[in-house]
Amino acid sequence: MTALRRLMQARSVAVVGASERPDAPSGFVIRNLLGGGFTGRLLPINPTATTIYGHPAVPKLADLTATPDVVVIAIPAAPAVGVVADAAALGIKAAVVLGSGFAETDAAGAARQHALAGHARAAGMALCGPNCLGLYNLRDNLALFSSRLAPDMPRGDVAIVSHSGAGAITLANTGRFGLSAIISAGNAVVTDVADYLGYFAATGSARVVALMLEQIGDPDAFARAMHAAHAVGLVVVALRSGRSARGAAATAAHTGALAGSNDAFAAFFRRHGVLEAADMDGVIETCVLASSRQSPPRRPGLAALGVSGGGLAHAADLADAAGVTWATLADATTTGLAALLPSYVRPTMPLDMTGIVFGEPKRYRAALDLLAADPGIGQIVAVQDAPVGLDADGAAEYAGIADAIAAYATTAPTPIALLSLLSSGPHPQVRAPLAAAGVPILQGGTPGMAALANALNPPTPAPIVAIPALASQPDWVRRLSGGPKLTEREAKAFLAAHGIRITREALATTADGAARLADTIGYPVVMKIESADIPHKTEIGGVHLGIATAAAARAAHTAILAAARHHAPNARVGGVVVQEMVSRGTEALVGLSRHAPFGLALTVGPGGVLVEWFGGHALDLLPLDAPAADRLIGASKLGNLLSGLRGQPAGDRPALAALLVRLARIAHTYADQIAALDLNPVAVLPHAQGVCVLDALLIRTCDTEPHS
């Protein structure tokens, strides 16, 4: 049995710090364990007591006669580190460390966490925590959980994995879905979300995993776990905290982890098929629908029906915001509905049955049967409120509709859900027959529609591609590792040395030299100050465009050096670069930037001095192959620009995609040296004419680190 399975399915449990004090964390664990149907061995460890809750206790782990599957450590942080070391030495392969006092507190806590993780990793242990509530595996009746558990928690197919302990408790006690497991992963320094995901994928013990994420420790492991999850149809929905600056600061204060950028997380989730929820209710409704006993939609079209035109119009607005695809009705469906309903009802989506069906619920059922027979419909949703504040007689008016839906659901060739536009959901009298018939009840318009969108358009994780790194060039490794900062010209030389086309250009140290270079390059030329100390050259008069004669080149050389002396007297100036002027093509921006924990990410979008600022850029993580590069271009506003908008010539999109792939390969090769690389603008020339980098800025890792 692997260490992780010992943790999740332990048959013998040692509890260090076992105590009968009513408020002791270990007491909760023991009471939960014994109350939760555990039939294995409980082994309390207590320095003085001979029994705990009637079970014989020993003073220390080493006194046990057999090696337990797991040790639960319910003592303060400092001694807990030593116990993990002892457990490792004794060959114990799994531990739960409950206490706080680790990286979430201060530097000393972080050091304790580092030591703890070292012991566990060296011994190949699985370790839940530290700074956690433990775990409860309902499938195997294993409750190693240090907070109160309701005795009748509903069992089912949803597993919860949460960095936040309170988040785990909250999500576990909504009463909205049945549970397979609850894992409070805490600081998750050894065993993290990726491991638990892998466990559920491998054991088939959950159909849905709800993640409450504060960070992703190992993106590669997470990606592999997601691919394993998708292979077995496991749905994974995540709520990430730290999406705002203040939320990220609160998260860092809470767990000591640093958050990455939202764009990078969104790209990661999209790549690997994680459904991202906007809030807790978004997680909950997706869990409700994805854990339904009905089969999932077989195609993306939604059909909605109801008795309130206003409610359906609102639902349509929310569907649009959630990105739901509507079904196009087949002619037979339209004809059938027209025959079924009054002449003034339009047989379209959403379908307003009007109040007449209160008196004739058979029509509601007949409409459901027509929709179920339509090959373009993947999911039916009955948009129906029956608010909880109604009295019994008021709620009874909805009985006919509820019965029609429930009767349909007993066969349900096409899955059906009820959507209450109120998050408080339907009145108990309406809820009961639907629940009995297995109809998932979605509560709240926005999260409910998000759940439907997730079901109708399940994510398809991209295959993990391996893009070969370029051969690293020793000279460039050296220049990227220290020494003076790179100028624009040097950054472009780096690109050229790795197969990327740049403008023809060279450095002129004299005015005559500039004129000679301009003659060689061909007019018009651009001339730019050469200095790594002047990042914004245009603003100080350090760039002259459209130089058409040798005399103008001479004059520009003099003027540019004078401007630099005036505006940046302390800047180190190497001369003036004379550069081919490319005024054709569409200006693009292409960039590499660091997004922890994912490393360098690639950005593409419209370029130029001002247009850059307008946005419309798209970001993806690495590795990136040509199809992914092309999709990224399409996701940015550059996609439309390159297609020949408003009479502009169409751009060489394949060449731009090839540039992105090459840059991704450069990023792999020099991952340690490059902090950021901005190519702006890149001229995307007309069809089949390629791309050319006009300007570049390379910031090395060593440029961003404080000098020691």
Contacts of a second copy in 1-30 (CB under 8 A): 23
Contact 211, 186 (CB under 8 A): no
For a second copy, give the closer residue by CB, 70 or 351. Answer: 351
Three-state DSSP at 593 gives strand
Give least dist CB 277 to a second copy, A: 10
Among 44, 445, 597, 623, binds a second copy (CB under 8 A): 445
Report the C-alpha gap between 596 and 605 in whole angstroms: 21
Work out which of 161, 452, 611, 663 binds a second copy, going by CB under 8 A.
Answer: 611
- Whether 452 and 419 have beta carbons less than 8 Å apart is answered as yes
Of the ranges 267-275, 312-320, 552-560, 679-687, which one interacts with a second copy (CB under 8 A)?
Answer: 312-320
Pick 89 or 278: Cβ nearer a second copy: 278
Find the binder of a second copy among 139, 227, 243, 516 (CB under 8 A). Answer: 243
Q: Tell me which of 125, 316, 430, 552 binds a second copy, using CB under 8 A.
A: 316
Joined tokens for residue 583: 């005024």
Q: Which stretch binds a second copy (CB under 8 A): 43-51, 352-360, 365-373, 591-599?
A: 352-360
Which one among 309, 376, 634, 649 touches a second copy, defined by CB under 8 A?
309
Q: Which of 51, 59, 204, 244 binds a second copy (CB under 8 A)?
A: 244
Following DSSP, what letter does each residue of 407-438 receive, concatenated? HHHTT-SS-EEEEESSTT-B-HHHHHHHHHTT
Judge whether 285 and 443 are in contact, CB under 8 Å: yes
Choose, by CB under 8 A, the member of 65, 246, 411, 471 that binds a second copy: 246
Asked whether position 152 contacts a second copy by CB under 8 A, the answer is: yes
Least distance between a second copy and beta carbon 474 (Å): 38
Q: Decide: 632 and 667 in contact? Cβ < 8 Å.
A: no
| Of 52-60, 420-428, 453-461, 572-580: span binding a second copy (CB under 8 A) | 420-428
Q: Which part of the chain contacts a second copy (CB under 8 A), choosing from 338-346, 433-441, 504-512, 621-629?
A: 338-346
Count Cβ neighbours within 10 Å for each residue of 161-191 and write b for 16 or more, e otherwise: bbbbbebbbebbeeebbebbbbbbbbbbbbb
Strands 126-128 and 94-97, by their bridges, are parallel
From the CB of residue 278, how many other CB atoms can be counted at a distance below 10 Å?
13
Could you give the CA distance from residue 192 to residue 190 in angstroms, rounded to a whole number? 6
Distance, C-alpha 109 to centroid of its chain = 28
Residue 165 near a second copy by CB under 8 A: yes
Q: Is 107 in the site for a second copy (CB under 8 A)?
A: no
Nearer residue to a second copy within complex by CB, 197 or 259: 259
Min dist. Cβ of residue 523 to a second copy (A):
17
User: Considering only residues 650-689, where is the footprint of a second copy by CB under 8 A?
Assistant: none
Which tokens sit at 565? Answer: 């002396």
Determine if 214 is a binding residue for a second copy (CB under 8 A): yes
558 contacts a second copy (rule: CB under 8 A): no
Helices (H), 373-398: 392-396
Half-sphere exposure of 630 (CA within 13 A, CB side): 9
Q: Alpha-carbon distance 38 to 134, whole Å? A: 16
The Cα–Cα gap between 147 and 134 comes to: 9
Say whether residue 394 binds a second copy (CB under 8 A). Answer: yes
Nearer to a second copy, 156 or 461 (CB): 156
**Smallest distance, a second copy to C-beta of residue 368, A:** 19
Residue 608, classified by CB atoms within 10 Å of its CB into exposed (0-12), middle (13-18) or buried (19+), is: middle
In whole angstroms, the minimum distance from the beta carbon of 255 to a second copy comes to 7
Shortest spacing between CB 86 and a second copy, in angstroms: 27
The answer to whether residue 423 forms part of the interface with a second copy (CB under 8 A) is: yes
Q: Is-contact 663 602, C-beta < 8 A?
A: yes
Looking at the chain, the number of H-run helices and the number of E-run strands are 26, 29
Size of the site for a second copy (CB under 8 A): 108
Quick check: 56 binds a second copy (CB under 8 A)? no
Using CB under 8 A as the binding rule, whether residue 493 contacts a second copy is answered as no
The reply on whether position 408 binds a second copy by CB under 8 A is no
Any contact of residue 509 with a second copy (CB under 8 A)? no
Q: Contact at 8 Å (CB) between 567 and 541? A: yes
Both tokens assigned to 593: 């930037």
Report the nearest approach of a second copy to the CB of residue 583 (Å).
13
In single-letter form, the type of residue at position 575 comes to G
Q: Which amino acid makes up residue 140?
A: D
Beta pairing, strands 575-580 & 525-530: antiparallel
Which of these, 685, 96, 174, 244, lies nearest to 423 by C-alpha position?
174
Instruction: Decide if residue 245 touches a second copy (CB under 8 A).
Output: yes
Tokens of 267: 């790209």
For position 320 contacting a second copy by CB under 8 A, the verdict is yes
Q: Give the range of 278-286, 369-377, 595-603, 670-678 binding a second copy by CB under 8 A.
A: 278-286
Nearest Cα to Cα of residue 189 among 105, 124, 129, 144: 129
Task: Please identify, using beta-carbon distances, which residue of 69 and 276 lies nearer to a second copy.
Answer: 276
Q: Which is nearer to a second copy, 162 or 673 (CB)?
A: 162
Given 59, 233, 310, 484, the residue binding a second copy (CB under 8 A): 310
By beta-carbon proximity to a second copy, the closer residue of 239 and 601 is 239
Among the residue ranges 6-14, 100-108, 191-199, 562-570, the one whose residues contact a second copy (CB under 8 A): 100-108
Closest distance of CB 19 from a second copy, Å: 16
Strand partners, 692: 683
By the rule CB under 8 A, 31 interacts with a second copy: no
Q: Name the DSSP letter for residue 686.
A: B
- Residue 637 as a binder of a second copy (CB under 8 A): the answer is yes
Among 296, 387, 524, 690, binds a second copy (CB under 8 A): 387
Three state DSSP letters for 125-147: CEEECCCCCEEEECCCCEEEECC
**Site for a second copy (CB under 8 A): which residue of 295, 481, 510, 640?**
640
Q: How, if at all, do strands 575-580 and 505-508 pair?
A: antiparallel
Q: Is position 104 an interface residue for a second copy (rule: CB under 8 A)?
A: yes
707 near a second copy, rule: CB under 8 A: no
Segment 353 to 372, residues that bind a second copy, using CB under 8 A: 355, 359
Judged by beta carbon, residue 220 or residue 614, the one nearer a second copy is: 614
Q: Does 151 bind a second copy (CB under 8 A)?
A: yes
Listed in sequence order, the residues at least 6 apart from 236 whose beta carbon sits closer than 8 Å to its beta carbon are 197, 208, 209, 211, 226, 229, 273, 274, 275
User: What is the 3-state composition of the chain as percent helix, strand, coil, each rounded to the nearest 5?
Assistant: 40, 20, 40
**Sites for a second copy among residues 521-540 (CB under 8 A):** 536, 538-539
Site for a second copy contains 254 (CB under 8 A): yes
CA nearest 528: which of 700, 696, 699?
A: 696
Least distance CB 81 / a second copy (angstroms):
18
376 binds a second copy per the rule CB under 8 A: no
Which one of residues 39, 48, 65, 343 is an interface residue with a second copy (CB under 8 A)? 343
Distance (Å, whole) CA 465 – CA 626: 10
User: In whole angstroms, how close is the CB of 707 to a second copy at the nearest point?
Assistant: 29
